[in-house]
Chain A
């Protein structure tokens, strides 16, 4: 009976029920629905296509292999984004030097700590691989987003690219609502500063 169902028109909750019943096509449908949002979030977090693809695969495998534990009161997309953000943050921690914020570690308290944990963006952009990636990603806004601290980046991407409410972002990232609002405000402010030259032009 299941193959006759039009999976593409079913809500997430119904597709999940079919996946919990062991319908392979339901698993595939969930991947089809969320491969772009999940991959985009991770790609913009780690800025490396190959790594992003591996991490996005890990995300789906973790979620789909534990689909029987899915709780309907939690949105499936929120669960996916939560795992995606966690795997991306873990990957960033593993190669901290490649992705650390231009303004230094978020945990840096003093100016010397900030300076010590910063890195030279201009020097890195001379790297041929970075140029290739920059061309692929395409625009100044992508570069500016890449310079945000990872936690700001996740919040701003979920807010603007995925259109999530502040409350959903707080639930997804396990952060207090006030913290999410602060991160988004600071991210917008930093992006404005980073892109001010475009506005002047």
Chain B
């Protein structure tokens, strides 16, 4: 402390030391600076001039844009409402405002829930029928997918590919379809990444 004070006593304040005083820094570091300013007329005058300047700067007013500014901005802003917010707002809008109407609506909703509960219970009791229908549906989906894959391979690879599949069987077809699907997915992903990168640049 003593050495700091003496080093300031034998010279005028440095620019960064004036900044410390202007910015209202507190602590041991500014004590010798303040002591020096009290004793040194030149540094005191310099500090007062800078303080006057910062006071004027601090009091500078903010300017207002034209009254139509906000409207002009809002016309060009795309207000995007996420689907979950829209759904929530829709459901909230369905709730009646008056208490009796809300009770009535609650009773109606309860009735609907009970009805669907009963239907669900009835369906669960016929579980064997559901399993049979599901397996039938799955079989049809599998046959359709296989046919679609074969057509795709025939379109892309032509006769040689079809012969290769006939010789080696189903696994080859599965591999070919997987490769084609992965290729398409990669192209799609690259496209999406490019769009995202362009948007990122636009924000900056």
Q: A21-B85, A62-B203 are in contact. Are A189 and B15 (CB under 8 A)?
A: yes
A188 vs B51: C-alpha distance in the bound complex, in angstroms?
Answer: 10
Q: Are B19 and A199 in contact (CB under 8 A)?
A: no
Q: Are A192 and B53 in contact (CB under 8 A)?
A: yes
Q: Are B85 and A22 in contact (CB under 8 A)?
A: yes
Q: Are B57 and A141 in contact (CB under 8 A)?
A: yes
A161 vs B60: C-alpha distance in the bound complex, in angstroms?
Answer: 6
Using an 8 Å CB-CB cutoff, how does the interface string of A160-173 with B read, 1 for contact, 0 for none?
11010000000000
Using an 8 Å CB-CB cutoff, how does the interface string of A98-111 with B read, 1 for contact, 0 for none?
00000000000000
Q: Which residues of B contact A80 (CB under 8 A)?
A: none
Q: Is A9 an interface residue (CB 8 A)?
A: no
A7 to chain B, nearest CB (A): 13
Q: Which residue of A lies closest to B200 (CB)?
A: A69
Q: Is B128 an interface residue (CB 8 A)?
A: no
A65 vs B77: C-alpha distance in the bound complex, in angstroms?
Answer: 6
Q: Is B132 an interface residue (CB 8 A)?
A: no
Of B63-71, B104-112, B137-145, B163-171, the segment with at least 4 beta carbons within 8 Å of chain A is B63-71
Q: Which residues of A contact B57 (CB under 8 A)?
A: 141, 156, 159-161, 191
Q: Which residues of A contact B60 (CB under 8 A)?
A: 141-142, 160-161
Which of B54, B64, B79 neighbours the largest number of chain A CB atoms within 10 Å of its CB? B79
B-side interface residues, number (CB < 8 Å): 38
Choose from A39, A66, A163, A185 the contact partner of B63 (Cβ within 8 Å).
Answer: A39
Q: Is B49 an interface residue (CB 8 A)?
A: yes
Q: Which residues of B contact A56 (CB under 8 A)?
A: 65, 69
B116 to chain A, nearest CB (A): 28
Q: Is B74 an interface residue (CB 8 A)?
A: yes
Interface members, chain B 53-99 (any A CB < 8 Å): 53-54, 56-58, 60-66, 69-70, 72-74, 76-82, 85-86, 92
Q: Are B62 and A195 in contact (CB under 8 A)?
A: no
A60 vs B72: C-alpha distance in the bound complex, in angstroms?
Answer: 10
Q: Are A22 and B80 in contact (CB under 8 A)?
A: yes
Choose from B15, B49, B56, B92 the contact partner of A141 (Cβ within 8 Å).
Answer: B56
Q: Is B161 an interface residue (CB 8 A)?
A: no
Q: Are A35 and B19 in contact (CB under 8 A)?
A: no
Q: Which residues of B contact A62 (CB under 8 A)?
A: 202-203
Q: Are B203 and A31 in contact (CB under 8 A)?
A: no
Q: Is A12 an interface residue (CB 8 A)?
A: no
Q: Is B16 an interface residue (CB 8 A)?
A: yes
Q: Is A124 an interface residue (CB 8 A)?
A: no
Q: A62-B203, A65-B77, A161-B57 are in contact. Are A36 and B63 (CB under 8 A)?
A: yes
A27 vs B77: C-alpha distance in the bound complex, in angstroms?
Answer: 9
List chain A positions with a Cβ less than 8 A from chain B: 1, 20-24, 27-28, 31-32, 35-37, 39-40, 43, 52-53, 56-57, 60-62, 64-66, 68-69, 86, 141-142, 156, 159-161, 163, 181, 184-185, 188-189, 191-192, 195, 199
Q: Sort A-B residue pairs by CB-CB distance and give the 6 closest, nearest first.
A: A22-B81, A160-B57, A36-B62, A40-B62, A39-B65, A21-B85
